[in-house]
Amino acid sequence: MADSAEPRAQDAESLEAFAARATDWIAGNFPASLRGAAGEAMARIDAEDVKGDLLLWRQRMAETGWAVPTWPKAYGGGGLSGAEARVLAKAMAKAGAFNPMVQGMGVTMLGPTILDYGTEEQKRTHIPRIARGEVRWCVGYSEPNAGSDLASLQMRAEDKGDHWLINGQKIWTSGADLSDWCGALVRTDPSAPKHRGISFLLVDMHQPGIETRPIKLISGASPFCETFFTDAVAPKDALLGELNKGWDVGKRLLQHERASQTGAAVPGGGGRGRSLTETARAYGACDAVPGFLDEVNRNAMDARAHGLTLERAMAEARGNSGPGHTPSILKNSATQVAQARAELTLEAMGLHGRGWEGEPFAVGELEAVKSWLFGKAMSIYGGSAEIQNNIIAKRILGLPEKTQGGE
């Protein structure tokens, strides 16, 4: 393969010239064995089976910083502009390539939040390792009695002088059993109002005081865990942001989570690696089901509208480190697009989209069914659709707090 040295994007360079050089670099460095196999490869990454050409591709992407293209070069990122990053993504898609680290919580949530709120030491300690794909992160938010009403959380972190002592439980902590670090919201001042007195800690998962228990789902996968903290510890410099102001940090992380979602890539879509139109044509649904192609086109337009709104929100938020309320709109629109796509995928497959196991069904067909089931959780995780609607109503539309009781 060609030398993996990074083709730098100069300030004065046109996007067309950058696209040409990015295309050349991808052609010389992306392993041919992985072309068109993004779904299988990403599943291997989820299972920690990273070796061979997949490991080589991840290393090459890390060397350029292009796995996190817009992150600062000083911390292992690509240092690209948003426009350059979009050009790179299009060049990769055209070549049948993919970003091997695009879906980790370190890349989509914790890394950007550490860049927003972290000290220089925290950035230099954590960001390069995330950019190279060397560590896994999970997010410790929900608790058995603090789900959508997250501010009711009770897991405590006590100041012991030279460290924090952590006790409590988190639930639905995705990938906790495989994670090296956890970004957790904890209560540091029990006497304060519930939205105050919360702090954000960066916690090392490799310690005796932390136990994880996977939760098996109807889809057959077990991405979620119960996580128990019993006298777990974190150094005093593990505090991200200000003491007792972790609620703002936590909201900013959710903003990054929802900003990472797009109409075409959100979970639950089904038929990974093939467009919905291609799936419909492969199974003859466009001709057999009246009006089906109209529904497919409507979903594609909704996905495009979601993507454009996302780009606009990111542009408006650039340079503003404070959390906003626009992510609530994007969370619900991403959910609607993904769930509609999953339903249409199964409808396109007909009887082939009704299987659970067995030889009569292809791997992609079984994957689509399980993806459809998993996608149902989108209405709940990351804040339920009802909670997002309340936020939209009160914080964006300015509707009154109470709508009943004659007030």
Q: Is 257 assigned a catalytic role?
A: yes
Which of 84, 257, 295, 365 is an active site residue? 257
Render 216-235 in DSSP notation, one character per residue.
--TTS---EEEEEEEEEEEE
How far is the CA of 355 from the CAs of 21, 216, 270, 279, 282, in angstroms? 44, 19, 13, 16, 17
Residue 389 parent element (H or E): helix 385-391
Report the amino acid identity of residue 380. Answer: I
Query: In degrees rounded to 5, what are phi and psi of residue 277?
Result: -65, -45
Provide the angle, in degrees to the nearest 10, between the axes of the packed helices 246-259 and 292-317. Answer: 140
Structure tokens at 261: 């979602």
| Contact of 126 with 114, CB cutoff 8 Å | yes
For the CA atoms of 114, 110, 71, 248, the dihedral, rounded to the nearest 10 degrees, stands at -50
380 φ/ψ angles, rounded to the nearest 5 degrees: -115, -50
- Interatomic CA distance for residues 394 and 159, integer angstroms: 36
SS3 call for 116: helix
How far apart CA 333 and CA 317 sit, in angstroms, is 19
CA dist 72 and 62 (Å) reads: 13
User: Which residues carry out catalysis?
Assistant: 257
